[in-house]
Amino acid sequence: MFEIDKWQEIYSTVRKNKLRTFLTGFSVAWGIFMLIILLGSGSGLENGVKEQFKGGATNGVWISSGQTSLKYKGLKTGRQIKFTNEDYKAIKTTVEGYDRISARLFLGNKLISYKKEYGSFFLSPCHPDYGYIKELDVIQGRFLNIIDINEFRKVAVIGEKVKATLFKGADTMALGKYININGVIFQVVGIFRDYSRNDDEQKRVYIPISTAQRVFQGENVINQISFTTGNASAGEADLMINKSKAVLAKMHTFDIEDNRAINVWNKNEEVRKFKALFAGIRLFIWIIGIGTIIAGIVGVSNIMMIVVKERTKEIGIRKSLGATPWSIVLLIMQEAIVITSFAGYIGLVLGVGLLELISKNMPPSEFFRNPEADFSVAVMATILLIMAGAIAGFFPAMKAAGVNPVEALRDE
Amino acid sequence: MVNFDLKIQVMIKIKQVHKSYITGQNSLHVLKGIDLEVGAGEMISIMGASGSGKSTLLNILGILDNYDSGEYLLDGIKINRLSERKAAQLRNKMLGFVFQSFNLVSFKNAMENVALPLYYQNVPRKKRNLIAMEYLERMGLKDWAHHLPNELSGGQKQRVAIARALIGKPKVILADEPTGALDSTTSLEVMDILQEVNSTGITLIIVTHEHDIALRTQKTIRITDGNITEIIKN
């Protein structure tokens, strides 16, 4: 069925019918090319948005204190809720299933200096787990640890950009150096990189929350409690959040339904929303992609119809010389398959090439980066097109093979 | 059954062959009981007005068309409602065709056209091209082997077609108006070739409406309105 002679026969007909071959091939190549571009654009969009989610575990939950908006047990609205270390401890001991947990204190921007260099940076006191929750990449030294908290050590982990501002020239080694934070001396123990796209989040200085409370505040207030939900399901994560709310509502006497008393930001849910959005986009791309492929199929079958019509006489001649009907069917179909697979491959290469060119030369924007085609999808589409070409060629070929040679030869 | 008769062997034998074409509600009775015997190595011509049924008869003889009733034996093989595959094999092995309009494959050169029947006998490409060259040489067309049909004259095209009909070593060659598209000089040349072919023992059946062509065959069969009305020995 696939002996060399048959291929030579196909090659000689293809070579001698260049325009027809080109037209058949073009519709296929175009279909695949468009599909690749579409898929690539979709993945570019998805990569762009994924980038927005960097910097912070995707299973993180952030709970901040706010003002009450509902009357509760005779208490008026507008009360400022103030979290303390007790709240942190209560959640830590009563909520089950969380992975890491940390409290944070918001002290705002502080003047930080090293020798003659200085800058205003966001001071962010926290527990050691926050490095994990925020997905910080410690590139030098270490992050905060439990001993820092327990012993109220004056140590700081600074952002790469903070380091770049404070440590210049010959003094580039920051680890172990002492920096002045609002008049208090802290030792630099680590340098982190934050992959978040927000520039400010890279210009932070993390210090032990216990030290901050003692040095800068003199009380046990905290502003935010955050934890990660491990590999809990969406429902389990919601349970943890509700449990935390209940604990806080009881400790601060506010209505658990009051959404302003505390603010909960559940990244889990945000990610889920975007996943749903991208499932929708992917479906949309597939619908368009399948539409493009159908256009390709129609194009191929159209041209195969013309091919068969055009070759009716030739088929009649071949039959009179002893060609069996099956050999005629194979001749037409193999030609269709050879042309579609070859053209599909060209479309594939051109599409992938263009995407490569775009992703190399286009600066990554907010919502679009690294367009890439799923190669297996493209190969699948090509196989689909080949099958479509075969099917499109099959019925006209069957018809042609069934044609009475008498009539075919009479056809002038 | 052993044939003790000294008569030459019968190549084609048809008995009471009927053929009708159904077009819509009308049935056109084209062949109305044809009886014909052609001996091996004979060269006969079939004459008749257009619409008389001569082309239909030729198509039935060439296993290109079926018949409704009667009997057709080709070299002793009963030809009746064969599968397409079997018919194709018989055409390939037993028959050669020469047409008025040459029917060469336009995108294949002379050599490839001649070699085509061997392709369907699964002869390897190199070998069949070599054989095709031999046949072209016999036709005096060696220098034209790599030309496409539209680069050849009518006579040359018909000689290519004859070479193609011969290459499969057929027992019978069926020629449908082989000189119909040629001028008189070229017609004579083609007839010379066909007579030469016949002299090698191949049975030849020529459909024609030209008398001087028919006169060069051994027997002329005249068909009128679906019946054989006359058999003339030339």
Q: Please check whether residue B99 lies inside any domain of the structure.
A: yes
Q: Please check whether residue B1 lies inside any domain of the structure.
A: no
- CB pair distance less than 8 Å for A8 and B125: yes
Give the burial string for B4-22 (b: 16+ CB within 10 Å, else e).
eeeeeebbbbbeebebbee
Q: Please check whether residue B111 lies inside any domain of the structure.
A: yes
Q: Which residue has the higher pLDDT, A173 or A403?
A: A173
Q: Which of B91, B107, B164 has its CB closest to that of A17?
A: B107
Q: If you average pLDDT over residues A239-244, what whole number do you get? A: 90
| Confidence band for A269, pLDDT divided at 50, 70 and 90 | confident
What are the residues whose beta carbons fall under 8 Å from the beta carbon of A291, sequence distance 6 or more?
none
Q: Given this model, what pLDDT does residue B1 score?
A: 47
Task: For residue B16, give the H/E element and its range.
Answer: strand B10-23
The least confident of A134-138, A272-276, B44-48, B222-226 is A272-276
**Taking CB atoms and an 8 Å cutoff, what residues of chain B touch A8?**
125
Q: Given this model, what pLDDT does residue A310 score?
A: 79
pLDDT in tens, A229-240: 888 888 888 889
- The one-letter amino acid code at B84 reads E
pLDDT in tens, A91-132: 999 888 888 999 999 988 999 998 888 899 999 999 999 999
Tell whether B186 lies on the interface with A, counting CB pairs under 8 A. Answer: no
CA B104 to each of CA A76, B100, B107, B165: distance values in angstroms, whole numbers, following the listed order: 102, 11, 9, 11
pLDDT in tens, A38-59: 888 888 888 887 777 776 777 8
pLDDT in tens, A9-39: 777 777 777 887 787 788 778 888 888 888 8
Supply φ then ψ for residue B97, to 5 degrees: -120, 140
Task: For residue A120, give the H/E element and its range.
Answer: strand A117-126
CA distance A323 to A311: 14
Is residue A164 packed enough to be buried (19+ CB in 10 Å), middle (13-18) or exposed (0-12)? middle
Our CA-based measurement puts residue A4 at a distance from the nearest CA of chain B, in whole angstroms, of 9
- CB pair distance less than 8 Å for A405 and B64: yes
CA distance B158 to B186: 10
- Percentage of residues of chain A with pLDDT beyond 70: 96
- CB pair distance less than 8 Å for A406 and B65: yes
| Tokens 């570019």 belong to residue | A44
- CB pair distance less than 8 Å for A9 and B119: yes
CA B56 to each of CA A148, B101, B214: distance values in angstroms, whole numbers, following the listed order: 107, 17, 19
Residues B116/B180, Cβ–Cβ less than 8 Å: no
Return the CATH number at B162: 3.40.50.300
Task: For residue A30, give the H/E element and its range.
Answer: helix A18-52
- CB pair distance less than 8 Å for B120 and A8: no
Domain count, chain B: 1
What is the 3-state secondary structure of A340-400?
A: HHHHHHHHHHHHHHHHHHHHHHCCCECCECCCCCCHHHHHHHHHHHHHHHHHHHHHHHHHH
Q: Please check whether residue B35 lies inside any domain of the structure.
A: no
Residues B162/B194, Cβ–Cβ less than 8 Å: yes
- CB pair distance less than 8 Å for B112 and A406: no
Q: Please check whether residue B208 lies inside any domain of the structure.
A: yes
**Taking CB atoms and an 8 Å cutoff, what residues of chain B touch A327?**
120
On the question of pLDDT at A2 being above 60, the answer is no
Distance, CA of B171 to chain centre: 10
| Confidence band for A366, pLDDT divided at 50, 70 and 90 | low
Q: If you average pLDDT over residues A368-391, what whole number do you get? A: 74
| Confidence band for A213, pLDDT divided at 50, 70 and 90 | very high
On the question of pLDDT at A412 being above 60, the answer is no
Residues B78, B81, B83, B84, CA torsion sign: positive
| Tokens 């050999």 belong to residue | A327
On the question of pLDDT at B5 being above 60, the answer is no
Residue of A nearest to B174 (CA): A320
Give the burial string for A37-54 (b: 16+ CB within 10 Å, else e).
bbbbbbbbbbbbbbbebe
Residue of A nearest to B121 (CA): A322
Q: Please check whether residue B18 lies inside any domain of the structure.
A: no
Q: Given this model, what pLDDT does residue A55 score?
A: 66
- The whole domain housing B137 covers 42-63+84-233
The pLDDT mean for chain B works out to: 89
- Percentage of residues of chain B with pLDDT beyond 70: 97
Supply φ then ψ for residue A403, to 5 degrees: -65, 135
**Taking CB atoms and an 8 Å cutoff, what residues of chain B touch A412?**
101
Residue A226: helix, strand or coil by DSSP? strand
Supply φ then ψ for residue B165, to 5 degrees: -70, -30
Q: Which residue has the higher pLDDT, B139 or A383?
A: B139
CA distance A394 to A386: 12
Q: Please check whether residue B158 lies inside any domain of the structure.
A: yes
Residues B200/B183, Cβ–Cβ less than 8 Å: no
Residues facing A111 on adjacent strands: A120
CA distance B143 to B135: 12
- CB pair distance less than 8 Å for B88 and A319: yes
Q: Please check whether residue B115 lies inside any domain of the structure.
A: yes
pLDDT in tens, B165-201: 999 999 999 998 888 888 888 899 899 999 999 999 9
| Confidence band for B54, pLDDT divided at 50, 70 and 90 | confident
**Taking the model in full, what pTM does it have?**
0.65
Q: Given this model, what pLDDT does residue B195 score?
A: 92
pLDDT in tens, A284-316: 887 887 787 777 777 777 777 777 887 888 888
Q: What is the DSSP letter of A232?
A: -
